Chains A and B, each alone.
Chain A
Amino acid sequence: EAGVTQFPSHSVIEKGQTVTLRCDPISGHDNLYWYRRVMGKEIKFLLHFVKESKQDESGMPNNRFLAERTGGTYSTLKVQPAELEDSGVYFCASSQVSSRRSHEQYFGPGTRLTVT
């Protein structure tokens, strides 16, 4: 069974440009999460999809970030326009269910974004 995959693995862009990150969850996982780790800080939650619906987007930093999950399969996270403070590693995770009792999230390898 394929794990969570993310593309690209690395991206270097200039301030003001646009970048789109992609996440393919494990097949059959309705729940998809985005997290971010800024250099030297902890990993922080960005948002949570259940199928194609945004369940919780309380961690999205501002309106320069747009996440979509059309058809409830893969997800994209677009940053437009990118700022220097957006640099970091963006992780995607998926899970079958979102209840606390059986909760386990499977993580992808992350996309390292560098904004210069």
Chain B
Amino acid sequence: AQSVTQLGSHVSVSEGALVLLRCNYSSSVPPYLFWYVQYPNQGLQLLLKYTTGATLVKGINGFEAEFKKSETSFHLTKPSAHMSDAAEYFCAVIGAAGNKLTFGGGTRVLVKP
């Protein structure tokens, strides 16, 4: 079985500041990890994913995440927050079965001018 923990249900950052969203996972097999974003009144959109290979993964809109096996973490970062980054972010993992996503609880990001 797998699980995902996102530290902090709400994060507030100033425009231009670093965005750091934390995600820790547990998985009985090498994990495939995802970050999704949900903007208001929209569906979930894939930001980035890690399957194999390079552990630093770059995604859309300037986001990146690093897979750290020793820490069972997949934290999401963006060097400089923009007002348009205000949204809810979800970390997810696919386990051995390869079909269903297991999500963390989500982190809502507020960007202050």
A and B interact: yes
Question: Is the C-beta of A108 less than 8 angstroms from some C-beta in chain B?
Answer: yes
Would you call A16 an interface residue if the criterion is a C-beta within 8 Å of the partner chain's C-beta atoms? no
Q: Taking A42-B105, A100-B94, A101-B51 as contacts, is the C-beta distance between A59 and B43 under 8 angstroms?
A: no
Which of B7-40 touch A at CB < 8 Å? 32, 36
Q: Please tell me if A114 contacts chain B, counting CB pairs below 8 Å.
A: no
The answer to the question of B80 belonging to the interface, with a C-beta cut-off of 8 Å to chain A, is no
A87-116: contact bitstring with B at CB < 8 Å (1 yes, 0 no)? 000010100001111011111111000000
Please report the C-alpha to C-alpha distance between residue A59 and residue B99 in the assembled complex, in whole angstroms. Answer: 12
Chain B interface residue count: which class?
Answer: 20 to 34
Distance between Cα atoms of A108 and B45 in the complex (Å): 9
Which of the listed residues A3, A31, A100, A110 has the most CB atoms from chain B within 10 Å of its own CB? A100
Q: 0/1 per residue, B39-52, Cβ < 8 Å to A?
A: 00111111001011
Query: Which residues of chain B are near A55, meaning CB under 8 Å?
Result: 99
Q: CA–CA, A42 to B102, complex, Å?
A: 9
Residue numbers in B under 8 Å from A35 (CB-CB)? 101, 103
Contact of B98 among A44, A91, A100, A106 (CB under 8 A): A100
